[in-house]
Structure 1
Amino acid sequence: MHQFVTATKAAVAQGNWYAALAIALTMPDICGRIESPSKNPRERFVDWYDRFLLKRYQANIGANRTLHTFLSGLDCYALRCAFLHQGEFGIDDQRAQQALESFHFTIPSQGSFFHVNQFDNVLQLRVDQFCLEVSEAVEQWLVIVAGDKDIQARLAKLASIG
């Protein structure tokens, strides 16, 4: 998995946003498959996302400090499907879609930092930040599964170039 994390970070550093996003949206798939190979793809993606990324995309908002989920595992999976299979950010036609309809990704700009902003059913994310947050979650997962021999054996089978 380190090769995918490294590739994501390199793509972010180069400003290669589409490559970075494609790898970032693929990594929860790969981790979920390695951890739970018998689950179906959507189930394992959402399960992995909910354990390692969900809290980053939740906040207590409003006067009552109500917990709001900006990006659920299902909506992230729908984004993954729409982007990787159709090249789109709209998820309103995805079966996995839960609350959102579309995504708006922005690039880093000098002097401003806008990330995780929701306007109606559209979620705005800063592409570099999202990709780095997924990378950090994968790195945390790798530490947790370091002692699991079965997972390590499956990790050893991952594609390696070079």
Structure 2
Amino acid sequence: MQQYLDSIKASLAIRNYFGAITIALILPDICASVDSDDNKTSGEKYCIWFDKYLAEKFTELFKDDNQSHIIFGSNECYATRCSFLHQGTHIIQHQDQTLKFAKHRTVGAVSFMSLKTDLHSPRKNYLRTSDILFIDSNFFCETMISAVESWMYDIKVEKYKLEKLAAMPNIHLDFHSICNFSK
């Protein structure tokens, strides 16, 4: 799993935001698959994983009504994943089957931007208008990395899951690593 997290970090460092966002969007699928007894994932499993590890990062307490409001929910993230990866678009409103289960009013599109903010910056890492959510690319990717690291900590004693992680693909950079791989 670390190879995916490192790839996101490397992509962010060179401002390859498409690469970083693409990998970040598939991480909940990978984690849900590892968690699954049958090694399969689904939109539902993706959303369950998101709700457990990411939901609080995309919820904000508004002062005017002292209520928590979902800024970016699991269904929106899954719809973004589907639209971004399969249609090459930021428009998610056509993902009816996914969005109909959302627990809040969803937006019609999710766009990524580069504000170059620190993950712990007091500045906003997103802007939600009536129908578009803009999320800072660095914030999104770093938040996803943090969530996966928390998940990895949670499964650290689950041998079966660790074996699945160990079997994930690596990119071999030289022949020496291939020789070690075959042992």
Q: TM-score, normalised by structure 1?
A: 0.93
Matched, 1:23 2:23: yes
Q: Counterpart in 1 of 2:160?
A: 150
Question: Are the equivalent residues in 2 in contact too, given 1:11–1:19 (CA < 8 A)?
Answer: yes
Q: Counterpart in 2 of 1:82?
A: 83
Mapped partners of 2:116, 2:33: distance in 1: 35
Mapped partners of 1:66, 1:13: distance in 2: 36
RMSD: 1.7
The 5-angstrom pairing of residues 63-102 of structure 1 reads 63-94=64-95, 95-97=97-99, 98=102, 99-102=106-109
Q: Which runs of 4+ in 1 moved over 3 A?
A: 37-40
* Paired residue type of 2:13: A
Q: Which runs of 5+ in 2 are unaligned?
A: 173-183
* Paired residue type of 1:126: D
1:46 offset after TM fit, Å?
0.5
Question: Are the equivalent residues in 2 in contact too, given 1:114–1:125 (CA < 8 A)?
Answer: no
Q: Counterpart in 2 of 1:135?
A: 145
Q: TM-score, normalised by structure 2?
A: 0.83
Mapped partners of 1:129, 1:63: distance in 2: 25
1:116 offset after TM fit, Å?
2.2
Q: Counterpart in 2 of 1:42?
A: 43
Q: Which runs of 5+ in 1 are unaligned?
A: none
Q: Counterpart in 2 of 1:56?
A: 57
Q: Secondary structure at the residue paired with 1:59? A: strand
Q: How many residues align?
A: 161
Question: Are the equivalent residues in 1 in contact too, given 2:125–2:135 (CA < 8 A)?
Answer: yes
Q: Counterpart in 1 of 2:181?
A: none
1:84-142 CA-to-partner distances (Å, cap 9, x unmatched) read 001111100012123121112111358x9541221112111011110111011111111
Instruction: Flag the structure with larger Rg.
Output: 2
Q: Secondary structure at the residue paired with 1:96? A: helix
Q: % of aligned pairs identical?
A: 29
Mapped partners of 2:87, 2:79: distance in 1: 11
Bigger RCO (CA 8 Å, 6+ sep): 1
Mapped partners of 2:86, 2:37: distance in 1: 22
